[in-house]
Amino acid sequence: MAIKTDKNQILIGERIAYELLITIPSQDYTIDFKLPDSIPHFEAIGKTGFDTTNTNGTISIHKKIIFTSFDSGAWYIPALPVVLEIANTAQKFTTDSVLINVDYADADSTAALRDIKPIIEVKVTNYFWWYVIGFALSLVIMCILVYGYLKNRKKKTLPVLHSTISAYDEAMVALKELSTYDLKNSQTLKKYHTQLGFVLKRFYSRVTEANLLNKTTGDLLLNLKEQQVESGLLSSIAESLRIADAVKFAKYISPVSESENSLLVIKNAIEKTEKNKSTKN
């Protein structure tokens, strides 16, 4: 019996394929394997049944489970019990535990080492009068700012998240416009993915009444988790946002089908959130 994973280091919300492999001498064995209801720091978002293959009389059993995590740190997928039974005789085994590192972003391994520079003598300069002049200028600037504030305090500006239509309607209008973009054009593609992330952040900013527009992908995912967004959907959102980051910052050319799917994922998330909000009301 063995287990394997497709990776041992992931970003928050990224998926891990965990595979259980069992070899038995005959098909007379029955297998009892039950996944716990909860595993600390991990969430199971998908699994397959047992696949059986017969090679020269040797029976191989294969099962795949998809995990994800939204807790940064180094965590173990624990040892899991497996029971093999034949002719009323049961044997209990446990899988190996697997260490998974969960992080906000990939570590930067490209930074070059720098040579140690020789000590440079520093000439000490008396900056007293510079401090006096700086303080005086700061005082003048502060007085000007206070005067400007008092003069214009009655002029109220609209909040950043102000809109004449609902958050849901605004998001749907924006997504409909994005669906018309030419995704074969690299410049348009970059704008498309930038706007996808903006639409999602603006929608949840208005729904939660908290400005999320400047949040990083990792921080946004943690915020959505606190909003109790369903784990499978949250993992799909994470994947779409990672694609958007790759397009924006790494010049990744996302295939048209992948880009279109990202829009569908964002739309699905917004629709489910709106439906849940309406149900609560």
Tens-digit pLDDT profile for residues 219-233: 988 888 887 788 888
Which residues touch 77 (CB under 8 Å, ≥6 apart)? 5, 16, 18, 39, 42, 67, 97, 98, 100
Q: What is the pLDDT of residue 176?
A: 95
**For residue 97, is it within any domain?**
yes
**For residue 142, is it within any domain?**
no
73-77/30-32 β-pairing = unpaired
Rounded Cα gap, residues 189 and 61, in angstroms: 43
Q: What is the pLDDT of residue 157?
A: 44
Q: What is the pLDDT of residue 160?
A: 58
How many residues does the structure list for the chain?
281
203, 270 contact by CB (below 8 A):
yes
Q: What is the pLDDT of residue 90?
A: 86
Q: Which two tokens stand for residue 189?
A: 């593609």
Specify the CATH number for the domain of residue 68: 2.60.40.10
Say what the pTM is: 0.60
Q: What is the pLDDT of residue 1?
A: 81
**For residue 149, is it within any domain?**
no
Which residues touch 102 (CB under 8 Å, ≥6 apart)? 9, 10, 11, 12, 41, 69, 71, 72, 73, 74, 75
**For residue 56, is it within any domain?**
yes
Q: What is the pLDDT of residue 99?
A: 95
Positions in the chain short of pLDDT 50: 111, 155-158
232, 66 contact by CB (below 8 A):
no
**For residue 203, is it within any domain?**
yes
Give the range of the structural domain holding residue 224, as residue numbers without chain letter. 167-280
